[in-house]
Structure 1
């Protein structure tokens, strides 16, 4: 089973953290969308219900077979809508502690991964998912654990995992339209 996860196009959130806020996407780069669409081989398409993911799917010429609420981005709680430069300094946390950290009123990466991973594990055929950076990292965490938090996931980038039985392998991470 091949899993292709495409992060949504750039959020139109004025440089602020979007998280669970339902902000639109900038789908204006037709050439980038065409390059990424040519890489996709969907047997089924699943998308986060977020507006930015639905818009990205449409711009790619994809019609989701279903919208999956479990694929929403991490709930950043008090950090929602914050300028990233104003985030609190958490110090030199080990990755496993960072994965457990919960912003006030939000969820940790581990919390988010706990709702995303069962959806991915249940897939039975090749799938394209249009979702968020957090969704991509949750998928990567199946293979590398909390080290998934160290991966860059650019807007409109493609990450590909392969599953054979219960074993997952990472084929590609953060493949951008210009690559």
Structure 2
């Protein structure tokens, strides 16, 4: 990451599947009312940084919950809600055959997969899905093209792997990093902070 770049990373607002502890991955689940209020809160937090953030690049994951988050944030800034780009590399981790499964049902649904994942959460890959290592590879590919301050609406997995890469976090700890939906993660080469 370049020394002169700041990334304002916003995780999409809550969905019903988040609230239910269901593996969501790339399933295109919409935000709920709580999620919309979280996105509004994040837009207001960014508004405190005006006019600086108006000149930033705005990009989102193409999944609906990230797009709606970005549109709420941009409206909060007084900007055209549709004035942003999409990038497939910012999609959430694909949970394959686990998508839609309640976390509490994993032991019955896929005991072997759950056990394998517990041994190496970063490298374990569900059938038809991705590992955190795979996700980090595509997120870092995206990061390599960032040349100016950027506001991003994406997902918890993206937030985790970018921090893991930028700050040399032990891979086994990356999947456990905090990913609040009502705060903005500010990433710089020299460190990070929450807004």
Please tell me the TM-score bracket, short chain as reference: 0.7 to 0.9
- Counterpart CA distance in 2 for 1:134 and 1:120 is 14
Matching residue within 99, 102, 106 for 1:83: 102
Partner of 1:109: 132
4+ residue runs over 4 A deviation: 27-32, 91-94
Structure 1 unaligned regions, length at least 5? 163-167
Is this contact kept in 1: 2:41–2:182, CA < 8 A?
no
Matching residue within 78, 83, 86 for 1:67: 86
* CA offset digits 1:91-139 (Å, max 9, x no partner): 7956xx3211111221100001111111112101000100000010111
Partner of 2:63: 50
The answer on 1:133 being equivalent to 2:156 is yes
Is this contact kept in 2: 1:45–1:63, CA < 8 A?
no
Q: How many residues align?
A: 167
* CA offset digits 1:33-78 (Å, max 9, x no partner): 4432133225111000000011111122254521001111011011
Is this contact kept in 2: 1:161–1:172, CA < 8 A?
yes
- Counterpart CA distance in 2 for 1:65 and 1:85 is 37
Matching residue within 123, 129, 135 for 1:100: 123
Q: Tell me which protein shows more strand as a share of its residues.
A: 1
After superposition, the Cα gap between the structure-2 partners of 1:64 and 1:139, relative to the gap in structure 1 and judged at 3 Å, is farther
TM-score by length of 2: 0.76
Q: Which has the larger radius of gyration?
A: 2
- Counterpart CA distance in 2 for 1:28 and 1:103 is 29
Two-structure CA RMSD over aligned residues (Å)? 2.3
Q: Tell me which protein shows more helix as a share of its residues.
A: 2
Structure 2 unaligned regions, length at least 5? 47-52, 76-80, 108-113
- Counterpart CA distance in 1 for 2:36 and 2:154 is 19
